[in-house]
A and B are shown apart, each in its own frame.
Chain A
Amino acid sequence: MRRGFRLCVCLLLLTLVTGCWNRRELNELGIQMGTAIDKIGDEYQVAVQVVVPGEVSARLNSGRSPVTLYKASAPTIFEAFRKLTETSPRKIYSAHIRVLIIGESLAKEGIGTTLDLLSRNPEARTDYYVMVSRGMAEEVLKVMTSLEKIPAHNLFYSLDTASKTWAPTTTVTMDEVILQLVTEGLNPVLPGVDVFGNSVMGDSKSNVDKIENDAWLQTAGLAVFDKDKLVGWLNENDSKGYNYIRNNVKSTVGHLKCPEGGLLALETLRTDTDIKVSFEQGEPVILLRIINESNIGEVECKIDIKKPETIVWIEREIETKLRQLLQQTIQKVKSKYNVDIFGFGQAVYKKDPKAWKKLKADWKERFPRLQVNYDIDITIRRTGTTNNSFENNIKE
């Protein structure tokens, strides 16, 4: 009994020995929401957007900025991160990071080394979005946003929402970037972001005082990488084509020209792309199989959609248009960048690893003359809550 008691006391005292190791109170944390990494000269500059919790909460709000920015430069990123404590009163806590923005100049030099630290860091999850800024990455974190108080959140959610409903946009999380970098026959593509409007006004609270903000953040095309180096950008149309091929499109809206003039808008409900590979005399041939289901969303022309023939016509039109889009995109990437961002090489590898081994060495030469065929299957499901537009019946 006495011994048992002593043992208990010893065990209880042992719990105190830990000294609350690794314990961090919530109000000792600088919760990092966004990171921007630039390269200035030989040094990396790290800028972090840290939440000021009191300002975000509706109750305690005193009118100051909801986030603050700390930055530091050092030869390595890790050092730069630690150097942040020179200015930050709290240790930067990176587990809740939402976005990582890489400066264009750094991206041109290569992002591989940058990503190493971030993937090595045990604290952060690798589910944040990575994007490339059109200028200095730091600038992106200095824009106040109104609907989401935290700009990094704003960026995260606008990218997230757009990627689900708008074909030219896609999201890439940290682990996907690394996966794309190490996958054979595939090169990474990251979404671009830029500050629009009057960027000088962006970092002041007055930016969100008005209905229309002076400066705002917007996605800006897709950045094409050759291995880990930025080589160029895709415009809106090419981005759309890229996302169709990579099967990134969840839902989007597109339009057609009617035969008698005017436009017809269609909403894509579901779309699925399959990259199939076959070999013709040892040469790989790509077949893009796209199954797409759409609704008619807007009719701005005189057309009788009650007729089944019209629907068939529309289906055929979309098919042609989509094929043209894909062809253009592939052609442009082939001729301008010559980088296999579509993962055709990966598809070949999956189909026939042995063949890929031989093809791999001169894939750069083969890619531009790679034959791509299309098999597009479009179905129009519904026409919305009406059939023919009432526009046709407007009294003259």
Chain B
Amino acid sequence: MDTSAASKPQYALSAGLGLNIEEIQARFGCSQDLVVKEMSFGSIDIALVYIEGLVDTYVLNQSIIAALLSDDKRSADAPSGNLLFFLKEDVLSVGDIGLLKEMDSLFDSVLSGDVVLLADGYAEALHIGAAGWEDRNVSEPTSQTVVRGPMEAFTENLRTNTALIRRKIKDPRLWLEGRQIGTVTKTNVAVMYMKQIAQESLVQEVFSRLDQIRIDSILESGYIEEFIQDKTLTPFPTVYNSERPDTIAAGLLEGKVAIVIDGTPFVLLVPALFVQFFQSAEDYYQRADVSTLLRMMRFMAFFITMLSPSLYIAVTTFHQEMLPTNLLINLAAQREGVPFPAFVEALLMEVTFEILREAGVRMPKTVGQAVSIVGTLVIGQSAVEAGIVSAVMVIIVAITAISSFVIPAAGMSISVRMIRFILMGLAASFGLIGILVGMLLLIIHLSCLRSFGVPYLSSLSPFHGRDQKDTLFRLPWPRMTTRPMSTAKENLWRQPRTSKPKPKT
């Protein structure tokens, strides 16, 4: 057969069973996991085609093979009409059954775990949903842990993930629409949103951006994220991701759109706002005052991570007059004999820390422990004792590092760590003026960013008074009466205004 014909998308099945099987085996290159089980039903030859490992053997054996072989069905008066209809209606005890006519859709079905039933003399086939493969169980989230709150995380299975969300929101208005993206991987992508809460234009925008993707493969949500984000040239993440079903459900209820991608536990949520990256799921589960304090601390940590090395460089090399005298003498004493300028010293330590961090993440868990011990010893003590760096620099690096881990979203903490190096360079060249200019540029950049048309800094700039209750502060739940202006303008009210419960007197 002609190879150009094989690449044609619409290639009909032939009526001959043998021909079809040959064709299938040729296209799969006789892969060993492709199983073609030939049998007969009554007088007609049939064949089951599936991929071993993708189908649930229990379903295959009990509901398909056993049904086909059972005597009472076989002896029942041979199908006078369409055999495939007869099998579909009367024999097979599986819910998801359908007809297909093209070779390509047959491949799609087989590759997504269906069992395809071919019958001699029919140019059609039945695809029988029997998908079932080894899966990771729903387990505790690893990247966004909480002390109080649900302890379940998404898995690699799309259906499990959408079910996890549905279990949180029992409302028919939670709509789910699927797409297959990736010309080769054909990855299932589900877009979920709350009809009537999410703005129609936003949902349309998400679909139009998804539909523009023409890549061959989607292996993780990061692929999609980079395709659909508004602006590529920015260190800040403009798409939120989470492995926590409660976080995603909360986002949906605020009128955001979730994009669930098969094969990854990370679900995307758009639009993403700057402040969102400083909010943890736990903020909403513990007392409002505690959450508010913690949020403020996170913003503080954000600035510490971003600024502390550069401030140290700027103040010690340009603005020594700003330090209290005793501190200056103390710092000067520590710097005696240090061979590098403060900038090089800071750079050295910060880079070392980044290397250690990366090593700690990539190393197998058992080795990671060793890496961190060696790292602390080398950095914390030997470097200072050898006089290569000053002790205060180690303190600065440590504070920077710890603060960067306080930011709940990994994406944001990485961007801050990147910006930190630029600010350090500016501080080394221009001192505090450099830092100031750097910060101004940063603010300008942040104000220019948009995530799916929503200003990135929203609720701070543009300022929405109502949304302040869940931006820097978190008001108690009875006071959280409205949804965010930026995403749920049309369906703002979350609950009626209520008064505090009082004991009857």
CA distance A48 to B341 in the complex (A): 26
Asked if residues B336 and A95 are in contact (CB atoms below 8 Å), the reply is: no
CA distance A53 to B335 in the complex (A): 9
Task: Tell me whether A29 and B320 are in contact in the complex, defined as CB-CB below 8 angstroms, given that A53-B329, A96-B325 are known contacts.
Answer: yes
A-B contact count (CB 8 A): 79
Is A276's CB within 8 Å of the partner chain B?
A: no
Give the residue of B330, B336, B429 whose beta carbon is less than 8 angstroms from that of A15: B429
CA distance A31 to B330 in the complex (A): 12
Is B318's CB within 8 Å of the partner chain A?
A: yes
Is A60's CB within 8 Å of the partner chain B?
A: yes
Is A385's CB within 8 Å of the partner chain B?
A: no
B contact residues around A125 at 8 Å (CB): 321
User: What per-residue 1/0 map shows which CB atoms of A77-96 lie under 8 Å from chain B?
Assistant: 00000000000000001011
Asked if residues B328 and A96 are in contact (CB atoms below 8 Å), the reply is: yes
User: What per-residue 1/0 map shows which CB atoms of A136-173 lie under 8 Å from chain B?
Assistant: 00000000000000100100000000000000000000
User: What per-residue 1/0 map shows which CB atoms of A45-76 lie under 8 Å from chain B?
Assistant: 00000010110110110000000000000000
Asked if residues A57 and B330 are in contact (CB atoms below 8 Å), the reply is: yes
Asked if residues A24 and B320 are in contact (CB atoms below 8 Å), the reply is: yes
Give the residue of A22, A23, A27 whose beta carbon is less than 8 angstroms from that of B338: A27
Is B413's CB within 8 Å of the partner chain A?
A: no
Is B317's CB within 8 Å of the partner chain A?
A: yes
Q: Which residues B288-324 have CB closer than 8 A to chain A?
A: 316-318, 320-321
Asked if residues A51 and B332 are in contact (CB atoms below 8 Å), the reply is: yes
Asked if residues B329 and A31 are in contact (CB atoms below 8 Å), the reply is: yes
Chain B residue nearest to A61 (CB atoms) is B333
B contact residues around A27 at 8 Å (CB): 332, 335-338
A264 to chain B, nearest CB (A): 41
Q: A20, A56, A93, A125 — which one has the most chain B CB atoms within 10 A of its CB?
A: A20
Asked if residues B320 and A26 are in contact (CB atoms below 8 Å), the reply is: yes
CA distance A214 to B100 in the complex (A): 108
User: What per-residue 1/0 map shows which CB atoms of B463-495 lie under 8 Å from chain A?
Assistant: 000000000000000000000000000000000
Chain A residue nearest to B323 (CB atoms) is A96
Is A361's CB within 8 Å of the partner chain B?
A: no
CA distance A302 to B337 in the complex (A): 66
Chain B residue nearest to A97 (CB atoms) is B325
Chain A residue nearest to B342 (CB atoms) is A25
Asked if residues A51 and B335 are in contact (CB atoms below 8 Å), the reply is: no
CA distance A60 to B317 in the complex (A): 22
Asked if residues A22 and B318 are in contact (CB atoms below 8 Å), the reply is: yes
Top 9 closest pairs, chain A to chain B, by CB: A95-B321, A57-B333, A53-B333, A53-B332, A15-B429, A26-B335, A26-B332, A27-B335, A96-B325
Can you spell out 23 A-B residue pairs with CB atoms less than 8 angstroms apart? A15-B425, A20-B317, A23-B431, A24-B318, A25-B316, A26-B331, A26-B332, A27-B336, A27-B337, A27-B338, A29-B332, A31-B329, A33-B325, A53-B332, A53-B336, A54-B333, A56-B330, A56-B333, A57-B333, A60-B334, A95-B321, A96-B320, A125-B321
Interface residues of B (CB under 8 A from A): 316-318, 320-321, 325, 328-338, 341-342, 425-426, 428-431, 434
